Amino acid sequence: MILDTLKSKALKSAKRNNLFLKEYMLDETFTFCIISNGEKDFIGLTLTPKNEGKLSTFKSNSIEEILTTINYDLAQRAVTLALINAIGQYELGKVDIPLKANLRIALYETIINESSENDNIVFIGNLKPVVKKLSSYRKNVTVFCRSMTDEKNGVYNDIFEYEAVSKANIVVITGAALIGSTIDAILKFATNAKTVILSGFSAGINPLWLEGYNITHVASTSLKETKKEDILNITLEKIFDNPCYCIKRE
């Protein structure tokens, strides 16, 4: 499973770089995790899965404990992804990657550049501003969403997503999909897609960890200058104004 792969790669990095866990929190909108190498803090972020079921409480002060525990608890899996992203942000901070101003704009531009007018473009997760803008220039844009459907505007229940993905030329998957297990099936059905993008502030992993998976791009926010207070005071809209990147995997 892809989450198991990411947990393993993140744990190896944490041990190799002497990283330790400082704190984590499930806020109303964001779940975040803060780690440190003793000199600087690094933050990882994901969307809190509050519409997926009851969120439990748990306690841990160990990176290894979080990344080696097998669990099906939404809260713990959200913290696990935030921790993986924090370690990913640490690794990305060691390399020079070109940053852009707005993740939604960067994602839109990437899709436009990678697609033609008649391509079938499928979103797993409703990235509304991107979808709305893209639909003005691409004919076949379909969205699959668990929490809210709107068939008149091309937003369908995710029970149909595997069928649509199997016919797609471009697939865009929100990073929060990593909290669950369906992303593995989505990737297996996306074999006909020329471009598969893992996107959003929940996708702050090191793209190198995706070797062997058919994900062609990772688009996420750079949080190297972000602090806990910033996350506590920021809105869902404003998070997209953080510096961002879209990395094409070779």
Examine the pLDDT at 60 and tell me if it is beyond 90. no
Residues 65-93, mean pLDDT to the nearest whole number: 93
Examine the pLDDT at 214 and tell me if it is beyond 90. yes
Q: Distance between CA 190 and CA 213 in Å, rounded? A: 11
pLDDT over 90 percentage in the chain: 69
What is the pLDDT at residue 52?
A: 63
Which tokens sit at 67?
């990344």
What is the pLDDT at residue 54?
A: 63
Helix (H, G, I), strand (E, B) or coil at 168: coil
Half-sphere exposure at residue 78, Cβ-oriented, CA atoms within 13 angstroms: 27
What is the pLDDT at residue 242?
A: 87
Q: Using an 8 Å Cβ cutoff, are 178 and 218 in contact? A: no
How much is the pTM? 0.93
Q: Angle 145-148-149 (CA atoms, 0-180°, nearest 5)? A: 75
What is the pLDDT at residue 51?
A: 67
pLDDT digits (tens, 9 = 90+) for 3-55: 999 999 999 999 999 999 999 998 888 999 999 999 999 999 999 887 665 66
74 CB-near residues (< 8 Å, 6+ apart): 49, 52, 53, 54, 55, 56, 179
| Strands of 20-26's sheet in order across | 20-26, 30-36, 41-47
Q: 58 or 204: which carries more pLDDT confidence?
A: 204
pLDDT digits (tens, 9 = 90+) for 216-250: 999 999 998 888 888 888 887 888 888 999 999 87
Q: Distance between CA 213 and CA 43 in Å, rounded? A: 25
Phi-psi region of 125 (alpha: psi -120 to 50; beta: other; left: phi over 0): left
Examine the pLDDT at 215 and tell me if it is beyond 70. yes
